[in-house]
Amino acid sequence: MSLPFISGCSGRWCSGFLLAAFLFAAPLSSQAEEIIVYSSRIEQLIKPLFDAFTKETGITVKFTTDKEGALLTRLLAEGKRTPADVLITVDAGNLWEAARNGLLKPVTSPVLEANIPANLRDPQGLWFGLTVRARTIVYNTKKVKPEELSTYADLADPKWKHRLCLRSSKKVYNQSLVAMMIDELGEAETERIVKGWVSNLATDPVADDTLALEFVAAGRCDVTLVNTYYYGRLMRENPALPLAIFWPNQATTGVHVNISGAGVTHYSKHEAAAVRLLEFLSSEQAQKMFIDLNMEYPANPKVTYGEPFTSWGSFRQDSRSIVKAGELQPDAVRLMDRAGYR
Ligand code: FE
């Protein structure tokens, strides 16, 4: 690096200046070992992971949590001036949207490519899945026999009339499921199925997965679709509830899975440290912490898990690229609207 403004310095003054410049530069370079994360995951679910990362690497992590929409809007508005290095959010649809808006930068990392299966990350390295969230059928064990269940599509059959509860179509979870159904079955058949779901509803669509489970447990409906960690949390508090998991589509696509994931922001000024955080989050140590913190499945297939997962049984996951859930999400939203799914 040239320092033209001190050319012409000489003697003690000059060496004193250089020493001062050196001392001043030292804290600057250690300051660079700090990264800023925008996260739609709440503090309790991510701070322990950041603390473990700092312990291992010495890189400190500052973070802001907010709803995914607010974080994307903020990144767009901040543009080049954003202080954020990493975006962490849930659902491939949100990550896909961030990538489409140019908010993420491609990352090449042999560590991430080894730890995260290709179907759970963006092909250009714009984002990587960190946990897997299985969206499955949960039923009331007093009212339904598992032999009666088979696929997501079968919940449109008239035999489920007034027996189905669904979360609101406004939440991205069922939007992603419907997007993957469009990929599998085409728009016309998927629309027929979603209309069937709507005509089988026992109640108006509910605000969240936990409420849907509580309605099934209380007998207000017999069957619903939820992410397994909501089931896990509710059963931990209330093991006697008459609820059980059924793994649908085992003879076809496999269980619909989505991700929580992360990407390096397009204007990150600390790219190497940001990539290191992503690599750490894909490691065995961090993946086990994700499991413990929120009962999500690891994205890294080398990571093993025990209870409560083992008692839920093993299942075949959908292995299609989760990118499709993002690409087809606008079509899914329009389709759900046409089908009267609110
Ligand atoms: Fe959730």
pLDDT tens per residue, range 61-107: 999 999 999 999 999 999 999 999 999 999 998 999 999 999 999 99
Q: How far is the CA of 165 from the centre of ligand 1 (A)?
A: 17
For ligand 1, the distance from its centroid to the CA atom of residue 179, given in whole angstroms, is 18
CA distance 290 to 281: 9
Number of domains composing the chain: 2
- E-assigned strand segments in 156-276: 164-165, 223-227, 243-246, 256-265
Q: Is residue 155 part of a domain?
A: yes
Does 21 reside within a domain? no
Q: How far is the CA of 45 from the centre of ligand 1 (A)?
A: 12
CA of residue 164 to ligand 1 center, whole Å: 20
Q: Are residues 142 and 228 in the same domain?
A: yes
Q: Could you tell me if 107 and 149 lie in one domain?
A: no
How much distance in Å is there from the Cα of 247 to the middle of ligand 1?
18
CATH number at residue 138: 3.40.190.10
Q: How far is the CA of 227 from the centre of ligand 1 (A)?
A: 7
For residue 257, pLDDT over 60 is answered with yes
Distance 236 CA to ligand 1 centre (A): 16
Instruction: Specify the DSSP class assigned to residue 4.
Output: G
Per-residue pLDDT band for 315 (boundaries 50, 70, 90) equals very high
For residue 18, tell me if it sits in a domain: no
* Residue 147: domain span: 133-256+318-338
Q: 71 and 173 in one domain? A: no
Q: Are residues 202 and 80 in the same domain?
A: no
User: Per residue in 25-65, pLDDT tens?
Assistant: 444 444 559 999 999 999 999 999 999 999 999 999 999 99
Q: Check: CB of residue 92 under 8 Å from CB of residue 258.
A: yes
Whether 108 is in a domain gets the answer: yes
Same domain, 127 and 138: no
Over range 157-176, report the average pLDDT. Answer: 96
- What lies within 8 Å, CB to CB, of 60 at 6+ separation is 33, 34, 35, 54
Cα(294) to ligand 1 centroid in Å equals 9
Question: Is 90 within 8 Å of 262 (Cβ atoms)?
Answer: no
114-163 residue pLDDT tens: 999 999 999 999 999 999 999 999 999 999 999 999 999 999 999 999 99
Specify the pLDDT at position 23.
Answer: 43
Task: Kindly indicate the confidence band of residue 273, based on its pLDDT and cuts at 50, 70 and 90.
Answer: very high
Predicted model pTM: 0.88
Of 4 and 200, the one with more pLDDT: 200
Sequence-ordered list of residues with C-beta below 8 angstroms from that of 87, at least 6 positions apart, any chain: 37, 38, 39, 71, 75, 95, 98, 103, 104, 262, 263, 265
Domain shared by 201 and 225, yes or no? yes
